[in-house]
Amino acid sequence: MKMVKSLLLGTAAGFVAFAGAQAADLPVKAKPVQYVKICDMYGAGYFYVPGTETCIKLGGYVRFNTYVNNTSGTVYTNGGFGRFNNAETKDVTSRVRVYLTGDVRSQTAYGTLRSYYAVQIQNPTGNANGTGTNSAATVQIIRGFIQFAGFTIGRTTSLADTPNAIEMASGNWNSVGGSTTSTGINALQYTFQFGNGFSASLGLEDSDQRDRPLYNVTVTPTSGILTGTDSSSSGANIGSTVPEITANLDVTQAWGSARVVGALHNVRGAYYSGTGTLNPSGACPAAAGGTAYPGVEACGRPSDKWGYFVGAGFTITAIPGMPGDLFGVSGGYSDGATAYAVPFNSVAMYKGGKYTVGNAPDGVYDNRGSIQTTKAWWVSGAYQHAWAPNLKSSVYGAYAAVDFSAKAQDLVCGIPNGRCNPDYNYWLVGSRIFNWTPVQNLDIGLDVVYWKFNSAKSTTGFGNPGGPIRPDRKIGNNDVWYANLQITRSFWP
């Protein structure tokens, strides 16, 4: 019995040893690795960059537009002599846009360190001259900024942008105001946060996008100021000595947002043309026969002036009992800073035997003296209604005007109370007939817009810049209908 017991114990010990050896030979199952770890610190769509505490969110959209009487989002108003509504015009154009974004954030002892970029690639067809040729694809950096400890540095939106409800409620971006939403602007900005949605910001912004031509009418033909032509001798804004100085006060809360904005713009003219008898210093030598020639330093130039812009707007996005609806109004006034008020440097449209023309320079001057700044103002409004969570419509309208002082009109027209009036204005009404979202992140919208342009005036007719006046080419008001079908597939959470 004792022998049997020993045998059983020995056999059991052998099995245990054998099983242990076998187990040691088996591979150990690795713990699961989370290659994409969700980061919920900044909202939906962020994930951790592997091996770091940095969170990133990737997004963007692909968009297709088809336009009627419109090119790449801008109504046919510029280029050549408009050539609108004739045999040379391509009435239907299209555009494909790819928009890619990245938002990278991490926490530091000074708060959130953020960098953001948006790159736009697009390929439009047709152009403002109506020739209908395929345009080369363009690549643009629309955003590219760093945010840290209250500072925003890089390409972002301007602090002088007003809340424009038309941009939110339609596919119509280039109507009034000087919004940088679709382009961006290089800037250095600082924002003070007061809590409860209130903030104030100050900024220095690049002036290139805000400079408009200055015209020395001594060397610019009268017809040139009407048609918007600009030559090297016309005295364009030659380069600001300081960047744009911008500021705003903003409140963003559950009901919507409101903002008051302002900007200072340096207006700097080129040298006088060189006609000695007109130069105020008398030190500039005249060319043979007393004719003008391109200005040089010895001729002197007009003193710099400060242009300015003020604007305000609000957008209500939480209307009681009407989820998805929004309503907004905005407007602004500029003096010597027309790029903040009207998106068109010039208007040149031909239709029905009439030319509609106008120009929005920062100012005009002659060899006798100072710059006469140009004034411009605008107002706009929009209302969007949600018929269902995935179906919306909107109506919107805007008005803008460009005004020259009496002194500026005399300079442009050549004689006091002369034959022309460079003032012009335009207005528009439009509707996003529908914006349908059949599935998440897919939007299909159709806008129809009517524009009315009230032209600058010349009673004697109109000719090519520098050429003879042609009585058969009459200056007159014009209008245009245009439509925009837009299909957007977004791919951000």
Say what the pLDDT of residue 365 is. 86
Residue 50 within a domain: no
In a domain, 446, yes or no: yes
Residue 287 in any domain: the answer is no
The size of the chain, in residues, is: 493
User: What 3-state DSSP class applies to 98?
Assistant: strand
Which residues make Cβ contacts (< 8 Å) with residue 19, sequence separation at least 6? Answer: none
The confidence band for 28, taking pLDDT boundaries of 50, 70 and 90, is low
Place 237 in a pLDDT band, splitting at 50, 70 and 90.
low
Domain count, the chain: 1
Percent of the chain with pLDDT over 70: 70
- Percent of the chain having pLDDT more than 90? 45
Do residues 326 and 317 touch, judged by C-beta distance below 8 A? yes
**pLDDT value of residue 255:** 95
Print the domain residue range for 389: 58-269+304-490
List, for residues 352-388, the tens digit of each pLDDT value: 667 777 888 899 888 777 899 999 999 999 999 999 9
Q: How far apart are CA 56 and CA 47, in angstroms?
A: 6
Write down the mean pLDDT value for the chain: 79
Residue 285 lies in a domain: no
d(CA 274, CA 286): 6
Contact 277, 299 (CB under 8 A): no
pLDDT of residue 89: 62
- If you write DSSP's letter for every residue of 181-205 in order, what string do you get? TTT-EEEEEEEEEEETTEEEEEEEE
Q: What is the pLDDT of residue 149?
A: 94
How confident is the model over 63-90, as a mean pLDDT? 58
Distance in angstroms (rounded) separating the CA atoms of residues 378 and 337: 13
In a domain, 205, yes or no: yes
- Phi, psi for 257 (deg, rounded to 5): -150, 160
Q: Please report the pLDDT score of residue 67 as a whole number.
A: 85
Note whether residue 375 is domain-resident. yes
Per-residue pLDDT reduced to its tens digit, 427-455 = 999 999 999 999 999 999 999 999 898 88
Give mean pLDDT, residues 339-344.
89
Tell me: pLDDT of 121 over 70: yes
Residue 100: give its domain's CATH number. 2.40.160.10
How confident is the model at residue 97, as a pLDDT?
A: 93
DSSP letter (8 states) at residue 223: H
How much is the average pLDDT of 198-227? 78
When pLDDT is cut at 50, 70 and 90, the band that residue 11 belongs to is very low
So what's the pLDDT on residue 213? 83
> pLDDT tens, 256-267?
999 999 999 999
Q: Interior CA angle at 410 toward 405 and 413, to 5°?
A: 120
Tokens 């805007």 belong to residue? 398
